[in-house]
Amino acid sequence: MTRPRQPADAPSLTATVARQLVHRAAVAETFLTGWRRTGTDRFSVSAQWPRVHPVHVSCDRSAYDPLLVVETVRQSGTLVAHTEYDVPLDHHFVLQEFRIATVAGKLGVGPLPAEPEVELAFTDVRYRGRRPAAVRYSARVLRDGDPVATADVAFSSVSARVYRRLRGGRTPGGVTTVPVPEAVAAAGVGRALAADVVLAGAGSRDRWQLRVDTAHPVFFDHPLDHVPGMLLLEAARQAARLRTGAEHPPVAYRARFHQYAELDEPVWIEARDGPRDGVQVVGVQGESTVFECLVATAAR
């Protein structure tokens, strides 16, 4: 039996990349659809953004959140590290720095899912033996050929054996998590559901406890032994929203991750006015600063 021939004008078929290549368990949280090398240490990654998402699309479904761009750029670097630099799939990536700036008015949700292109340049790859141990890359995100965002990212890569040693035997199933406190009002942080609020009141207008719900299907797409970086960035987003109001949404992030935020001790999110139209957010656990993030908001 012969297979029917496709008509010449048949539409191209699109599927996501393997979820393991972007460190995701759910296909629904895998936003990349392909990649290709465009030059020495340069790559182009294709993606598709859903028109509805519990945390990455606004409640009225009119706009994509800049943190969706963050996740897309993160996935892009992870994909290329595995496929083009031969980092084994069982290696762990430790995020150290993430800077991103989005272009105002370019993140609207249209009648079809957006299909951005991410242009990557791996600018500094440091090796341990034959494997990359530390990577820095820059990204330019385009939508229909127009710039949407620019980013700069740094992370390190460690083997499963080294990671176990770094974590001192901590495992997702062996950590007793802090009880999840009551959320602040969802509307105040631009969320429809209390389950998607990551801040709890702490009796101060500029300090909150981080709500770490390990059952959350987005922030804990798979079991983890620490607080994920995307949850910390969402905390920075919500803290900035509470401080500046809905009319000044976050448009850029400059984050540094200093150490793991553990699941078995409270994390406190503190905010204060930053330079220009920004909010400086710090995450504190015990006596240590685990991360800090300058959140730039739309002009006041």
CATH number at residue 113: 3.10.129.10
In a domain, 233, yes or no: yes
In a domain, 13, yes or no: no
In a domain, 12, yes or no: no
d(CA 278, CA 152): 19
The answer to whether residues 223 and 214 touch, using CB atoms and an 8 Å cutoff, is yes
Same domain, 81 and 155: yes
Same domain, 204 and 102: no
Among 146, 165, 184, the domain-final residue is 165
d(CA 198, CA 284): 15
Same domain, 130 and 211: no
Q: Write the DSSP symbol of residue 121.
A: E
Same domain, 200 and 72: no
Same domain, 150 and 23: yes
Closest of 134, 60, 57, 151 to residue 91, by C-alpha: 134
Total domains in the fold of the chain: 2
**Which pLDDT score is estimated for 40?**
97
Owning domain of residue 228: 167-297
**Which pLDDT score is estimated for 27?**
97
**Which pLDDT score is estimated for 191?**
94
Same domain, 137 and 231: no
**Which pLDDT score is estimated for 284?**
98
In a domain, 7, yes or no: no
Among 140, 165, 190, the domain-final residue is 165
Same domain, 88 and 187: no
Q: In this structure, what token pair is assigned to residue 220?
A: 């804990």
In a domain, 10, yes or no: no
In a domain, 2, yes or no: no
Same domain, 152 and 187: no
Same domain, 281 and 190: yes
Alpha helices, H only, the chain: 66-84, 160-166, 229-244
Same domain, 143 and 195: no
Same domain, 195 and 213: yes
**Which pLDDT score is estimated for 104?**
84
pLDDT beneath 50, residues of the chain: 1-4, 6
Among 165, 195, 227, the domain-final residue is 165
Same domain, 135 and 240: no
**Which pLDDT score is estimated for 9?**
56
